[in-house]
């Protein structure tokens, strides 16, 4: 603010010098320096008011202290069933064959199944391919008897005495031949599966191509091979 005053004073002095040096112009003895009023400059007082720096309260939510329910739900394991299913074993019923209507029939294909033939005379008889299933021939004595191809399944021939006869290709499955005597009897191609020959004798008899399976041999041993070699003579 003082620089303008100095400049004004300097200019006033310079003007006075110039006037003095001007020809014919006296140097005045008194120099009136115009009053220069310097306007007051009001400097605003700096505000000493400190702005409110109050930090607003920040509400921090309290952490939840509630522990989530971690209860493991009960798992119900079904108990294994110990009930054993009932297994019904079907009864094995051994059905005896019915009896033929005419037990006196003779000849080819005669039907004598289930007949009681213990007192019958079979000598020189012909029973080619006859049905003798389950028939009872126990104790029969006969010679020259033709039983070729006859069905003697389950028949009872125990204690019989046969000679010079033929049982060629006869079916003797499960037949009973215990303590019987067979002399010069042809058993070629006969089926002896499950037959019981305990104590039987087979003198001069042939079993070529016969079927042996679970057959009880004359010595009481069960086997599936030709067992007549051990038969008594």
- Lowest mean pLDDT: which of 15-29, 126-140, 212-226? 15-29
**Given this model, what pLDDT does residue 205 score?**
94
Distance CA 85, CA 130 (A): 47
Residue 127: pLDDT over 80: yes
Alpha carbon distance 148, 164 (integer Å): 13
The mean predicted confidence, pLDDT, of the chain is 79
Output phi, psi for 142, to 5 deg.
Answer: -155, 155
d(C-alpha 197, C-alpha 220), whole Å: 8
- What pLDDT score does 171 carry? 98
Greater confidence (161 vs 67) lies with: 161
pLDDT of residue 232: 46
Per-residue pLDDT tens digits for 176-209: 999 999 999 999 999 999 999 999 999 999 999 9
CATH class of the 105-233 domain in this structure: mainly beta
- Whole-Å CA distances, 29 to 15, 16, 102, 115: 13, 10, 196, 193
15-29, 76-90, 206-220, range with greatest mean pLDDT: 206-220
pLDDT value at residue 29: 47
pLDDT of residue 119: 79
**Tokens matching residue 201:** 């004798």
Q: List % helix, strand, coil for the chain (3-state, nearest 5).
A: 10, 15, 75
Q: Does the structure show a pLDDT above 60 at 34?
A: no
* DSSP 3-state of 200: coil
**pLDDT at residue number 120:** 83
C-alpha pair distances (Å), 230 with each of 177, 183, 204 = 15, 16, 13
Between 232 and 167, the more confident residue is 167
Rounded CA-CA distance 172/205 in Å is 16
Q: Is 162 or 232 the better-scoring residue by pLDDT?
A: 162
pLDDT of residue 10: 72
Listed by start position, the domains of the chain span 1-38, 105-233
Lookup result for tokens 């400059």: 41
pLDDT above 60: residue 96: no
Q: Note the pLDDT of residue 117.
A: 94
């Amino acid at each position: 603010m003082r620089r303008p005053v100095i400049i004004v004073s300097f200019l006033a002095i310079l003007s006075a010098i110039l006037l003095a040096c001007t020809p014919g112009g006296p140097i005045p003895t008194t120099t009136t320096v115009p009053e220069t009023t310097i306007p007051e400059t009001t400097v605003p007082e700096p505000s000493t008011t400190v702005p409110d720096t109050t930090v607003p309260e920040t509400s921090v939510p309290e952490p939840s202290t509630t522990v989530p329910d971690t209860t493991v739900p009960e798992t119900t394991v079904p108990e294994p069933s110990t009930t054993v299913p009932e297994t019904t074993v079907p009864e094995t019923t051994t059905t005896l064959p019915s009896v033929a209507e005419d037990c006196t029939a003779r000849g080819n294909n005669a039907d004598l199944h289930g007949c009681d033939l213990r007192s019958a005379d079979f000598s020189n008889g012909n029973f080619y391919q006859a049905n003798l299933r389950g028939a009872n021939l126990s104790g029969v004595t006969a010679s020259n008897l033709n039983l070729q191809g006859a069905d003697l399944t389950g028949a009872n021939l125990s204690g019989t005495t046969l000679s010079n006869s033929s049982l060629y290709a006869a079916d003797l499955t499960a037949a009973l031949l215990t303590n019987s005597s067979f002399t010069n009897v042809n058993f070629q191609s006969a089926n002896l599966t499950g037959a019981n020959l305990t104590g039987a004798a087979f003198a001069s008899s042939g079993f070529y191509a016969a079927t042996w399976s679970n057959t009880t041999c004359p010595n009481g041993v069960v086997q599936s091979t030709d067992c007549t070699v051990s038969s008594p003579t």
